[in-house]
Chain A
């Protein structure tokens, strides 16, 4: 679906909004799996990934809030983790010299190893060279070079359709106490004023994630975590590169992870652990969808936390985590 910028209609915008939610959601199990595979919770890598995951949850909330402001309550489905496909990103559009350091990579669920830290860096790859205007305005939804480029397009479409913004609709705020410098985590206004809020949330996502197009290496203070981040001034790309660099060229210096066994050796108890994770994550996606539809499920966070426990349980028993029966190998 190739579109021209003047053709942006609500359907195109909503496609992007849903895609934003999908993309943010995708990162969470992928990063969580890497983090929980690390034995030592006190390790720098573990703590850095933890801070990134927290912000990915925030980004998911932001994307959903923006979507709801435009009348879309996003659907939440278990992501697909197969091969090297990361939703909506095509690294072939990036300069090869920028992606080469992060090859090879995998988009499959796995422990923190070289392939996965490469994948994590690529997800957060900055827009080193912002795309020419014509590319920005004529985009394929699955053909963005980076999250930054994706959100550039989304912001553009959103600006064209800002008159459709309705503030205060199904907005969720679970994080504002962690960002005391942030004016607002929700879209409370309509129209032009609402777009300023939408734009602020997009800035938050991109500045925390890939940095501000690398013009400033520091995450602006307005977007910095004020509570529980080890390095609040660093964006995700910087944090992941820090882990990668510390891991050495071959990844041998990455923190020790739990050893895994091949699926053929899984015991019934192992399979049960995998099934628990699948079940818990399935419940979580349902609750997230309900949350962003304006409901207030009182078991949302317990299930969210239970997913973490189930995931850790898998790794501790040598089992590779699984988030759905069908969407990963």
Chain B
């Protein structure tokens, strides 16, 4: 391969988050909870609008009316010089903005961005919480959502009624364009030579098209978001307000929500889709960058609380094990004809080990951990690169669940103690994380040193590191499918695309006509896992594996007994009624309210979801809105957890070690709420099964 400059959009997968305000802040570009050079503020905080990287403070989270601000996903373009197969990390990459002059003398005059957002949740298959991806194994598929709507999964009839497709939008950065993903904004795409082409016959679909009336507790579902650019021509993708609408039943009553995951007759405004850009140069030439993907979804209620296993950990693990990301870490050994981790590989303590320890210690700010666990977690975070691993609390990895062994049903004292993936009681770190820890435990690790990642690679990592991994039941931002190699561009080394890039199904937008606009949807049901489908993802093919509406799942996934993962049968080594945290880092359970902290003395914890409508008869449903309708209406009132440094207060100065809840609108100081018990605590005993009376 000769020397060549390629362009890539980063982050390769980015996340825009719902907000009820028209105003927005930017999604974080640093990794949750990790130290940042030159500041006490740890990573993960969203960025103030209009700034490069200034973290928000608590007053930035809501607008003047108290509405929750959206988080815009910001995409940048980086140029890479390629002269052979790609390696990771490249450590390189130069950002391209309008006005950048390349080495070949060309200057960037415009960036023509495009995206296409869709939501296929209601049109596709149920989430099967205790099966996960296995529900698609052996050429099977789960039951269809909304089965009363006739037709197979790709029938026009079903897709016209159940799929939300806003169509593509394209904008010119130099023109300062913006475009909303609603019916009023014309569909457009970027065709050859960077030409923005209107698509007047694109079959846009929203629920109101086929429903005379909808139950709209938070307003009509008439948009999936918006795109615009900043002063440098970077793309900003805004999510929708996050609202959900439901159909009415035959009696004129909003359709009853019957569960957390697959509510019939309900639509939400989550979405996902490709992000592409064509660079236009002063000499009239154009270049296409390798595109990215945006997911529009749940707010980040605890942006700095690092997940022990994040989406990044899972995706990185898959690329290491399945797509030869770093052969020096995992690959074929000389003496064995098998892929394995290389015993000579030395992880870096700061980059590879310490983030796990930090994540461990951060759990205290969103979960009701017992005092002894707090002591232990403090000791874990205190481990530094100069400590002898054998003399630390992590000696022999004695308290880490080994993902290579059958240990997912062993609870305390093995960590992480939160609930696991579908079919397992407890979470494990990934195999790659565990290998890194093993190497550290054997004193085979590097000290010091800065990240070897290039700036675009850092964005890839940070974006995904701020999302929930491990427990995709079905997840918060994305589900288990994010770990499937089939969704990625597997020729990442040769193509110039670089790793972690979702393969886009080629959408040409050809053949659209006025005659078929009302009758024929453009998108199909799209990609599903374990069916040898490697042709790429259509818009909506990530978010369709999530719950519908999203609020009911977020609401319910607070605390559970392990049996929820294992077909209702307790397979753990503890009591069947013992409760554990579902998504403690990403879905706060128990929090410290900033307004109740004085002189940095912590008060009793409170449930994140509390107050009117949250009083639970069964501890298993504590910390949730008891009526799912309330979760659809009041999710934006939930508070956000931020570091003490960034809590605005006229009277208090909070320590940087504290992460406190701010901006909750669910209760006022002094209001009575359900108390938070010490862990371990138990659900009410299960109802006894009826036995034969004879």
Q: Interface of A with B (CB < 8 Å)?
A: 36, 40-42, 47, 174, 177-178, 180, 225-230, 232, 272-273, 276, 280, 298-302, 305-306, 308-310, 312-313, 316
Contacts and interface: CB of A to CB of B under 8 A. Distances in A.
Interface stretch (B278-286, B335-343, B372-380): B372-380
B396 A177 contact: no
Contacts of A273: 390
B575 A228 contact: yes
A276 B390 contact: yes
A47 B410 contact: yes
A310 B375 contact: no
Given A42-B410, A177-B370, A226-B682, A312 B575 contact: no
B345 to A, nearest CB: 21
A50 to B, nearest CB: 8
A228 B680 contact: yes
Given A309-B399, A312-B398, A302 B376 contact: yes
Contacts of A276: 388, 390-391, 395
A226 B399 contact: no
B395 A309 contact: yes
Interface of B: 370-373, 375-376, 378-379, 388, 390-399, 402, 405-407, 409-414, 573-575, 577-578, 677-682
A272 B402 CA distance: 25
A287 to B, nearest CB: 11
Contacts of A40: 405
Given A227-B574, A228-B575, A299 B379 contact: yes
Contacts of B388: 276
Contacts of B402: 41
15 contacts: A41-B414, A42-B406, A177-B677, A227-B682, A228-B573, A298-B375, A301-B372, A302-B376, A302-B378, A306-B392, A306-B393, A306-B395, A308-B399, A310-B395, A312-B398
B604 to A, nearest CB: 15
A310 B396 CA distance: 7
Given A226-B575, A305-B399, A178 B393 contact: no
B414 to A, nearest CB: 7
B139 to A, nearest CB: 32
B211 to A, nearest CB: 48
B410 A300 contact: no
A299 B577 CA distance: 31
Contacts of A228: 411-412, 573-575, 578, 680
A67 to B, nearest CB: 21
Contact of A305 (B407, B410, B413, B677): B413
Contact of B393 (A225, A226, A302): A302
B393 A177 contact: no
A243 to B, nearest CB: 15
A305 B409 CA distance: 21
Nearest to A300: B375
Contacts of B407: 41-42
A42 B405 contact: yes
Contacts of A280: 391
Contacts of A312: 395-396, 398
Contacts of B395: 276, 306, 309-310, 312-313
A298 B379 CA distance: 10
Nearest to B680: A227
A41 B373 CA distance: 21
Nearest to A227: B680
Contacts of B680: 177-178, 226-228
A180 B123 CA distance: 46
A232 B378 CA distance: 30
A301 B393 CA distance: 9
A318 to B, nearest CB: 13
A174 B372 contact: yes
A322 to B, nearest CB: 14
A264 B542 CA distance: 60
A227 to B, nearest CB: 4
A177 B412 CA distance: 14
B391 A177 contact: no
Contacts of A225: 575
Nearest to A308: B398
A64 to B, nearest CB: 16
A174 B410 CA distance: 21
Given A180-B682, A227-B574, A228-B574, 15 more contacts: A41-B414, A42-B405, A177-B370, A177-B677, A177-B679, A228-B411, A276-B391, A302-B375, A302-B376, A305-B398, A305-B399, A306-B392, A309-B395, A309-B396, A312-B398
Nearest to A40: B405
A261 B145 CA distance: 61
Nearest to B679: A177
A46 to B, nearest CB: 9
A310 B393 contact: no
A25 B678 CA distance: 27
Contacts of A36: 398
Nearest to B382: A302
Contacts of A298: 375, 378
A230 to B, nearest CB: 5
A242 to B, nearest CB: 15
A105 B532 CA distance: 60
